[in-house]
Structure 1
Amino acid sequence: MLRKLLIGVAVIATLVAGVGTARLVLPRADPTRGVVKQLAFLRAELEGGADRAAQEQYPEGYFFLNVLYGLTWVQVGLTDPDRAVDAAGEARWVLDRLTSPAGTAPFTESLQPSYGVFYAGWTNWLRGGLVALNQSNAGDLDAFLSQSVEIATAFRTAKTPYLASYPGQAWPVDSVVAIASLRLYDSLVVPRFGQIARNWVTTVKTKLDPSTGLLPHQVAPSAVGARASSQGIIQRFLLDVDPTFARAQYEIFRDEFVTRVGVREYPKGSGGPGDVDSGPLVLGMSLSATVVAIGAAQVHHDPLADRLTREGELVGLPWTGLKTKRYLFGAVPIGDAFLAWSKSARPFVAGEQAKLAGGWFWWRAPWLVLLWLPPLLLWGLWRYGRRGRRRLRSRGP
């Protein structure tokens, strides 16, 4: 019985190692197909109330689960024009949910722009995505214009480049998304807000985190230095604001936060606790920051995106069915939403960027050792036991 159990465990370990090796080494299949399967899973989860459940765990859980679902569909539709009509329909469905009482409930309407820069920036980016799909109507364009004007006015009259998302609370990442939405309007409709975006970049360069030279994580009610959970999103959107500034910022981010095994929440040489933004930290690494960094790396044409994606396919316990795909057995839908959004990332305004160096093949070596060491040990034990039994038989009774 022990021998049969050992053989069974060894066979399973060998199969796991083989599948893992394939995910690390073989050419990746069409990523859009996998993302569409993730979207099918997320749609069912949203219809089942996953967004309301997420709101009980995260301050913007309802909003993020919906907006990322809509934006991922936009990215899929832009990558595969045959899906543009479906993508536009899903984006409108999400916008209806975001503008409903449930979508606006966590935010303060009296802020400028209305409901705060977090809400305004992300919803305006989604509106712009709908226009980018070439499936918009006059009402869509009017809404995109009116919200862009409101955002531009708020930046023009503010004393700081970092607007409030909640009363007395401001995170620079939210302002980056909002400014990017203005640049998207200029690229899709008619140039109108370019000077505001340029002035914003000029001012931001004087208000960077002095320790890293990056945009800070938070500025109100107190200043907090750069952290990866917001930098991943900043680097993703800043490219569509100012590509030159964005590339310089991204290279600093990569040097300060990216390691051989993932993305640190705090810069190298420093540390701190995990929180609702970073999630639990393992040896200083943030799973949420690592997932979002996939999208930032992808829009910057950094081979890091392929590496992090392959590692996610290895350790994220993906389960693919005929129509759906989920990670970690679907236990954290908002995590699936961030991952789908990151894997399908593409610039909306900027063109394709020059490829960054860093396609080091040997990053796979430690993973391959971890994969194959257990089955090799198990088969070695089985072979050792088999040789021992042969020696006993040869000695006779």
Structure 2
Amino acid sequence: MDPLAALPTLQNVDGAQQRERAIRMMRDNFALWAQDPATLQERVNRECGLFPEGQLYPYFLTAIAFTHLAASEPDNRPANLKLAAQYLKLGIPVAGKIVNARNDDLLNLKDYDRQATTLSTVSIALGLYLRAGGKDPQLSRYHQHINQLLADALQRADGAPIHSYPNYSWNYDTVASLYGLRLAPELTPDISVDSLWKKHELWIAKYAFDEATQLPRSVAGFGYSEVPQPPRGCDVLMRVMMLGYLDPAASKSLFRNIRPVLERESGAFYGFDEYPPDIHGPEDNDSGPIVMDMGLSATGLAIGAALATDNDAIADRLCQQFAFREPLLMMTQYLDLGNIPGAWFWKGVKINPRYFTGFLFGDAVMFFTVTWAPVGEPG
């Protein structure tokens, strides 16, 4: 018997209600876990090591999610900002350790040290916290310092990409760094984010644009490979959310271009692929499992991308599938996870029904994407 036959039909499922159900469960869990920071940190260290940003995103994407809620739920703004600040303060020493700052303190960095992934993530979370009305002198010091490091790096690059890590980079992190500066322009008044973004757009068009799909490539211009790497779903869908602040028209244009290339439907399932058609790229820790030509990461991030571009019907359709959560989690109790698509992944994350997605890192990313809301005025 096909186990998927037991899944409910979605005809009468309200996607917006499913989204609210997901937000409610994850908000309550992350609020509860913040009450015991030591146990939370131990859980992150134990459960999230499979992922490239496994030590980073559980703190900072969670903080961003609470800033989204602070903006979209004015009556609960103080409580959500308090939780955002808690996760920021838990994450900042972790970020310092990731980039090998002296004494794990980001204030001791003298340069961005080719660490745009970590620093842009921290900058974005701090910027959204500030935009949502957060005020904390300790966090303000870090915000000022990190944004200045990123501004110096971007100005030196003059439109070319900056490095994600010392030995590996995706072009996405340059967009993320510009987004971080755009959220708080008053911290780096001598930098024109608009000018740098326009220069970077020209660089993308010349060196990192895939004409066949009309999408930006994931890796190009760093000398890691002779052939630029193809567009990736997890990359371009995150860019859509960020461009909503940098360049709203570009954000909507990118999402329009993504849909005919990556949008997929198979039976009861609807989602987005990690790779364009005819590119059989590998599953990895960024993509997550790719099942029925739908990537786990890309499909989850598409919810936020749809919300950021006023495509609420697409977000609702994606969220309808949350009705599959309970039966799918139940199936994991008796299925042999070593013999299903993405076995390498499912064995590594150890599915647990306490999490909405079944695993902690998945909840951090999902909480971030399903709560997407404008914080202040985009653009």
Superposition TM-score, scaled by structure 1 size: 0.73
Which ranges in structure 2 are unaligned for 5 or more consecutive residues? 102-108, 330-351
Once the two structures are superposed, residues 251-292 of structure 1 have per-residue CA deviations (whole angstroms, 9 ceiling, x without a partner) of 111111011221111102322221111112213221121001
CA contact (8 A) 2:52 2:286 kept: no
> Would the alpha carbon gap of residues 326 and 128 (structure 1) be closer, same or farther in structure 2, given more than 3 Å must change?
farther
Q: Distance in 2 between matches of 1:225 and 1:310?
A: 30
The alignment partner of 1:262 has SS state of strand
Residue 254 (structure 1) aligned with residue 255 (structure 2): no
Residue 298 (structure 1) aligned with residue 307 (structure 2): yes
- Paired residues for 1:373-388 under 5 Å: none
The alignment partner of 1:259 has SS state of strand
Residue 92 (structure 1) aligned with residue 85 (structure 2): yes
> Would the alpha carbon gap of residues 115 and 130 (structure 1) be closer, same or farther in structure 2, given more than 3 Å must change?
farther
> Would the alpha carbon gap of residues 17 and 265 (structure 1) be closer, same or farther in structure 2, given more than 3 Å must change?
closer
Aligned to 2:236: 231
CA contact (8 A) 1:185 1:191 kept: no
> Would the alpha carbon gap of residues 54 and 187 (structure 1) be closer, same or farther in structure 2, given more than 3 Å must change?
farther
CA contact (8 A) 2:64 2:368 kept: yes
CA contact (8 A) 2:175 2:239 kept: yes
CA contact (8 A) 1:271 1:284 kept: no
> Would the alpha carbon gap of residues 340 and 178 (structure 1) be closer, same or farther in structure 2, given more than 3 Å must change?
same
Aligned to 2:202: 202
CA contact (8 A) 1:298 1:346 kept: yes
Match of 1:314 among 315, 324, 330: 324
CA contact (8 A) 1:291 1:342 kept: yes
Query: C-alpha displacement at 1:138, in angstroms?
Result: 4.6
Query: C-alpha displacement at 1:164, in angstroms?
Result: 1.1
The answer to which of 194-203 and 146-155 deviates more is 194-203
> Would the alpha carbon gap of residues 91 and 318 (structure 1) be closer, same or farther in structure 2, given more than 3 Å must change?
farther
Q: Distance in 2 between matches of 1:264 and 1:327?
A: 27
Match of 2:29 among 21, 34, 41: 41
Query: C-alpha displacement at 1:70, in angstroms?
Result: 0.8
> Would the alpha carbon gap of residues 233 and 330 (structure 1) be closer, same or farther in structure 2, given more than 3 Å must change?
closer
Match of 1:58 among 51, 54, 60: 51
Q: Distance in 1 between matches of 2:111 and 2:323?
A: 41
Q: Distance in 2 between matches of 1:130 and 1:120?
A: 15
- Paired residues for 1:89-238 under 5 Å: 89-100=82-93, 102-109=94-101, 112-114=111-113, 116-158=115-157, 161-186=160-185, 193-194=192-193, 195-210=195-210, 211-219=212-220, 220=222, 221-222=224-225, 223-238=228-243
CA contact (8 A) 1:124 1:144 kept: yes
What amino acid is aligned across from residue 335 of structure 1 in structure 2?
G
What amino acid is aligned across from residue 294 of structure 1 in structure 2?
I
- Paired residues for 1:326-365 under 5 Å: 331-348=358-375, 351=378
Once the two structures are superposed, residues 106-130 of structure 1 have per-residue CA deviations (whole angstroms, 9 ceiling, x without a partner) of 3355794256111111101111111
Q: Distance in 2 between matches of 1:196 and 1:160?
A: 6
CA contact (8 A) 2:144 2:187 kept: no
The structure with the largest alpha-carbon Rg is: 1
CA contact (8 A) 1:121 1:177 kept: yes
Which ranges in structure 1 are unaligned for 5 or more consecutive residues? 1-12, 320-324, 353-397
CA contact (8 A) 1:97 1:103 kept: no
Query: C-alpha displacement at 1:31, in angstroms?
Result: 4.6
The answer to which of 90-99 and 192-201 deviates more is 192-201
What amino acid is aligned across from residue 185 of structure 1 in structure 2?
A
CA contact (8 A) 1:317 1:328 kept: no
Superposition TM-score, scaled by structure 2 size: 0.77
Match of 2:298 among 289, 305, 319: 289
CA contact (8 A) 1:171 1:217 kept: yes
Query: C-alpha displacement at 1:165, in angstroms?
Result: 1.8
CA contact (8 A) 2:215 2:231 kept: yes
Aligned to 2:287: 278
> Would the alpha carbon gap of residues 196 and 271 (structure 1) be closer, same or farther in structure 2, given more than 3 Å must change?
same
Query: C-alpha displacement at 1:152, in angstroms?
Result: 1.2
Q: Distance in 2 between matches of 1:289 and 1:316?
A: 21
CA contact (8 A) 2:15 2:320 kept: no
